[in-house]
Amino acid sequence: MLKFKGARQMPYKNPEDKCQWESQHREQRNEQRRMRRLLSKKNPIPRNPEPDQVSMEQRTSGWKGIIAFGVAVGLVAIAFSGMNIPSPQAPPPDIRS
């Protein structure tokens, strides 16, 4: 294995170093696990919290306006694209005279 000058190998890449690191830090890791368990028991995380109805209505109300505006613009564009608006012209000149 290549070792570069100044480079530090991570303990988990070498099985002997990993085992040594785990045994040295076992108490610290166990204490962290205990603290996490205690915190989760004190402050349980709700699995599926109920959505706030007021905030849900406020979120959708903005989209309704945007969708309505888009539909109105689309309908106006379709209406004007199919219409043939004649331009005012002068009457044809009288050739008989």
DSSP 9-43: --GGGSHHHHHHHHHHSHHHHHHHHHHHHHHHHHS
Contacting residues for 9 by C-beta, under 8 A, at least 6 apart:
3, 17
Q: At what angle do helices 26-42 and 15-24 cross, to 10 degrees?
A: 60
DSSP 91: P
Note down pLDDT in tens along the chain; length 97 residues.
Answer: 445 454 566 667 888 888 888 899 999 999 999 998 888 888 777 777 676 666 655 555 677 888 889 999 988 888 888 766 666 676 666 776 5
pLDDT of residue 32: 94
**Distance (Å, whole) CA 10 – CA 17:** 9
